[in-house]
Structure 1
Amino acid sequence: MTLLVLWRHGQTAWNFGGRIQGQTDIALSETGVEQVRAAAPRLAALKPTVLISSDLQRAADTQAGLAALVDLPVRYDARLRERNFGDWEGLTHPEITARWPESFARWRRGEPVDDAGVEEVDALSKRVAAALQEAVDAAPEGAVIVAATHGAAARHATCALLGWPVEFATTLGALHNCHSTHLLYDTVRGWQMAAHNVP
């Protein structure tokens, strides 16, 4: 059985300030760096065999903290990037509400958003899940794969891999900075949820 760990990056200044990041390339804050230092040894204890990461700096730097402990190379995949939030990127929730009240309310309810250049959830789910499934299929049975990625990307990919309706993503709750979702995979039973929001 393969273990796939979806590890959300450490905190950034935009996370702290309540700004939507999406695919804007924001670095880890000092708090984020400390979160990585605290979390990486716990993930190292799982004895990972494969490390993959979004190519955005905050995820890449998060994964670098683990790579230094387990002496493994990191493969970067742009498909593991966060959802593209279009015109919302860099704005706070009140700023978005003031300009796109109906669309933002739909997003908060987990419903489709069809304006402001926001990436469709279906496209997000498919691209992230495809990257993760390819990594699992390429790894030997019993591999432990740690994928450094982003909150919405991880949540929607989890639903896609488990075969859950897209509406279930909001029931998972937000994945906190430097927390992880653990999924198990085998060729007989397919995907199973093991844990969510592991510190």
Structure 2
Amino acid sequence: MTLLVLWRHGQTEWNAAHRIQGQTDTPLSAVGMAQAMESAPRLLALKPTVLIASDLTRAATTARALVDVSGLPVTYDPRLRERSFGEWEGHTHAEATERWPESFARWRRGEEVDDAGVEEIDSVAKRMHAALQEAVDGAEPDAVIVAATHGAAARFATVRLLGWPMALAPTLGALRNCHATHLRRDPLRGWMLEAHNVA
């Protein structure tokens, strides 16, 4: 059975400051670099056969930590980027609460946001699903695919792959930096959630 590991990037300075990143291209902090280097050997123990990554620097750099210990080639795919948060990007949560109180409150509840240029949930889920399905379809049946990506993007992809209503996405909880969600695809039963927030 195929194992798909959705691996969130290491910490950035913006993560530490509770600043909204979205598709703003921020680098890993020193803490984030250490997190990536610490988690790469644990992922190596899963015997990965395919490595794909978002092309944003924080995810690409995280993926390179696994390249360094595995020798696997990495394929960068912009469809694995984080959800775009439009005008919110660069603002702290406190600032966004002050400037967009109603829509930011909806986001915090896991609801759709229809202003400030925030990308629709369905758009994120569709592009993530397409990229991941393409990787799975191009791999061997028992492949172990690691996708270095982002927190919200990974959550929506998980829900889409499992066939759950998107309203259940918040119940997964936030994926922590350099933690992962494991999904396994059974030939008969389809995708199954094996683990979430694995260190």
Q: TM-score, normalised by structure 1?
A: 0.99
- Of 183-192 and 50-59, the range deviating more from structure 2: 183-192
The match for 2:191 is 191
Tell me which stretches of 4 or more aligned residues in structure 1 moved more than 6 Å. none
Given residue 68 of structure 2, which amino acid in structure 1 is its aligned partner? Answer: A
Show the counterpart of 2:2: 2
- Please state whether the residue corresponding to 1:46 is helix, strand or coil: coil
The reply to whether residue 123 of structure 1 matches residue 132 of structure 2 is: no
- Listed one character per residue, the Cα deviations across residues 28-65 of structure 1 (whole Å, up to 9, x for unaligned) are 00000000111000000111000000000000000000
Give unpaired runs (5+ residues) of structure 1.
none
1:46 paired residue number: 46
3-state secondary structure, aligned to 2:66 = helix
* Residue in 2 that maps onto 1:96: 96
Distance in 2 of aligned mates of 1:75 and 1:189 = 28
1:1-199 mapped onto 2 (5 Å cutoff): 1-199=1-199
Q: CA deviation at 1:175?
A: 0.1
Q: Distance in 2 between matches of 1:57 and 1:124?
A: 19
**SS at 2:181's partner residue?**
strand
CA distance in 2: counterparts of 1:186 and 1:89, whole angstroms: 38
Any idea what the Cα deviations from partners look like across 1:147-195, whole Å, max 9, x if unmatched? Answer: 0000000000000000011111100000000000000013321100000
Unpaired runs of at least 5, structure 2: none
May I ask how many residue pairs the two structures share in their alignment?
Answer: 199
Identity of aligned residues (%): 69
Q: Which amino acid aligns with 1:4?
A: L
Please report how far the alpha carbon of residue 84 of structure 1 lies from its aligned counterpart in structure 2 after TM superposition.
0.3
Q: Which amino acid aligns with 1:189?
A: R
Give TM-score scaled by structure 2 length. Answer: 0.99
CA–CA separation in structure 2 for the residues paired with 1:45 and 1:110? 34
RMSD: 0.5
